[in-house]
Amino acid sequence: MIRLILHGCNGRMGKMISGIAAADPEVEIVAGVDTRDDGQNPYPVFGSLSDCNVEADCLVDFSTASAVDGLLDFCVEKGLPCVLCTTGLSPEQLAGVKKAAGKVAVLRSANMSLGINLLLKLLKEAAGVLAPAGFDVEIVEKHHKRKLDAPSGTAIALADSINDALGNEYEYVYDRSGRRQVRPGKEIGISAVRGGTIVGEHDVIFAGEDEVITFSHMATSRAVFGKGAVEAAKFLAGKGAGLYDMGDVIG
């Protein structure tokens, strides 16, 4: 039985994971941490990590970027493996993630779904063929109106995967409204749509001379992220220091 601390337990993803863990005999949530408590959780909830003294095998985080620095300090101090799912981290925070991973196991993935993690691999192959043939790369992502960060961490991860395959020579462009110039070849445009209750949609468009190839992924329920996070926790519990991602979990 893998004992989990759920950080951000009363958010939308936290509630989803509580339900998934309750139905999974291999995991148990032994404590939750959240700045708000509705008294509805079947496990103890602490207002801050520093108050949480419950023994666990792994921490799963779906909270907010401003909470991540303290969370990493806590995991390093306790030697607690951490599945870090919160998005919108700054470059400094990403450097902090790498530093923490030198001391404890950290698995970070902007998108915990199987489909997106497979897509990250497929895009490398597609980019390696299409970019040298002159195809331009554009990414369009769509999410619900309550999402705070833009573009999505998944859109950046998709762009990073393509850029890695192309020698990291591409610039990311988020807004072309202030410029008048022909599109340079070595850029990846990333556009964000926000509205309603869209769970998460990503289109990666390779636009060439007279043909367009689009890779589309649509999440229709947050459950895909929750299931992925629980599988990631099972994988990470007991692992030594290092930076892991969902690619390691799906093999």
Ligand X SMILES: NC(=O)c1ccc[n+]([C@@H]2O[C@H](COP(=O)([O-])OP(=O)(O)OC[C@H]3O[C@@H](n4cnc5c(N)ncnc54)[C@H](O)[C@@H]3O)[C@@H](O)[C@H]2O)c1
Q: Catalytic amino acids?
A: 143, 147
Give Cα separations from 118 to 108, 121, 138, 181 (angstroms).
16, 5, 19, 35
Give the sign of the dihedral formed by CA 32, CA 38, CA 42, CA 44.
positive
Q: Of 85 and 139, which has the nearer Cβ to ligand X? A: 85
In angstroms, give the least distance from the CB of 189 to ligand X.
21
- Give 20-61 as a DSSP string: HHHT-TTEEEEEEE-S---S--SS-EESSGGG-----SEEEE
- Angle at which helices 114-130 and 153-165 pack, to 10 degrees? 40
In angstroms, give the least distance from the CB of 122 to ligand X.
18
In angstroms, give the least distance from the CB of 161 to ligand X.
15
Q: Please state, in angstroms and rounded to a whole number, the distance separating the CA atoms of residues 74 and 31.
A: 14
Cα angle: 14, vertex 18, 19; to 5 degrees: 120
Give Cα separations from 245 to 111, 200, 236 (angstroms).
10, 20, 10
Q: Of 74 and 170, which has the nearer Cβ to ligand X? A: 74
Q: Of 82 and 131, which has the nearer Cβ to ligand X? A: 82
Binding site for ligand X (CB under 6 A): 7-8, 10-14, 33-36, 62-64, 67, 85-88, 109-112, 225
- Residue 33 has a CB neighbour count (10 Å cut-off) of 28
For residue 129, which amino acid is it? V
Reading the block at residue 32, the tokens are: 């939750």
In angstroms, give the least distance from the CB of 70 to ligand X.
7
Question: Which residue lies nearest ligand X, judged by its C-beta?
Answer: 11
Q: Of 9 and 130, which has the nearer Cβ to ligand X? A: 9
First to last CA, the chain: 22
In angstroms, give the least distance from the CB of 183 to ligand X.
29
Q: Of 4 and 130, which has the nearer Cβ to ligand X? A: 4
Q: Of 36 and 179, which has the nearer Cβ to ligand X? A: 36
Reading the block at residue 94, the tokens are: 């990403």
In angstroms, give the least distance from the CB of 145 to ligand X.
12
